[in-house]
Amino acid sequence: MIPPPVRPEPIDQPVGLSWRGMFVTGLLLWIASVAVTALTSNTNMIPTVVLLGSFLVPTTAVIWYVDHYHSPELTGSLVVRAFIVGGVMGVLAASILESLLIRPGLAMFFGVGLIEEGAKLLALMFIARGLSTRTVRDGIVLGAAVGFGFAALESSGYAFNALLVVQDGQPIGLSLPDLVISELLRGVLAPLGHGLWTGILGGVLFMELPHGGWRPTRKLLLTYLFVSFLHGLFDSASGIAAIIGDISGLAPVAVGVGVIVVISIVAFVVLFRLWHSETAVTQASTITTPAWRR
């Protein structure tokens, strides 16, 4: 009797644009939109410039995570939901709480850090509520998606404010160059902020509560305070730079860049150690990663 032929296993192939393709395509479209807006003075093009510029880097960053990590729990729809729904929920909650609780002062930026990181953490918990199995790396990727969604929406607001030319408290015109500068600056800083901080929070959340739940643990609370502190330092970098510059005579811009670099290195080291922690490695050993994703 002749045995039936053995069917070869299907080869897992990447689908759609890679993160490089997404970034290059989006960047070219954004440059074209800026050029057309400048040449035609067509204000209808401004939302296109704002949205492309604000979402380009955050979207690319999320695709980079998905390109480099495969998990049966993290479907494409879940990651997209984390980016959009989680990002919007975080922005809404943070906006309400900041309007009620934040007052001008030295501690303002650290208060903003506590509120925004708390809002994103709650949004992540809501998005992940249906997951029966949670791994550290799943938490990092899903948390980063929520953070980058928050960053994209926040950058859109900053871009809109930069667009407006204000005199005596009243808008008197529009400035495309200020809009472009704002989006370039926010784009460069995007990988160093919200996605990084919420990725750390997400990894610790899934490590501490691998089977779900809302119960805060000591480690989760300490991590929340840690990333909130980094957030506050990041937002107050210009003020710190001015103080250090006055004392040392160094250029405030150079000091500010140095502060941001140090904060980012600390956060990246924490994220790297979390990704390669014993718990994360043990969990990942049960997941087969396709060769094209490695």
The fraction of the chain above a pLDDT of 70, given in percent, is 91
Give the distance from CA 52 to its chain's centroid. 16
Q: What is the pLDDT of residues 228-270, one digit of tens each?
A: 999 999 999 988 888 888 888 888 888 899 999 999 999 999 9
**Residue 33 pLDDT:** 97
- Cβ neighbors of 212 (< 8 A, separation 6 or more) are 128, 129, 131, 132, 134
Residue 40: how many other CB atoms lie within 10 Å? 10
Q: Which residue has the tokens 């249906």?
A: 130
31-46 residue pLDDT tens: 999 999 999 999 999 9
Q: How far apart are CA 97 and CA 102, in angstroms?
A: 8
Cβ neighbours of 168 (radius 10 Å):
5
> What is the chain's alpha carbon radius of gyration, rounded to the nearest angstrom?
21
Q: Is 172 helix (H, G, I), strand (E, B) or coil?
A: strand
85 CB-contact burial (10 Å; exposed 0-12 / middle 13-18 / buried 19+)? middle
Taking the C-alpha atoms of residue 121 and residue 221, their distance in angstroms, rounded to an integer, is: 11
In this predicted structure, the answer to whether residue 291 has a pLDDT above a threshold of 70 is no
Per-residue pLDDT tens over the stretch 160-180 = 999 999 887 787 889 999 999
Half-sphere exposure at residue 212, Cβ-oriented, CA atoms within 13 angstroms = 8
In this structure, what token pair is assigned to residue 80? Answer: 């997209």
Entry pTM: 0.88
Range list of H helices, 164-217: 176-189, 194-208
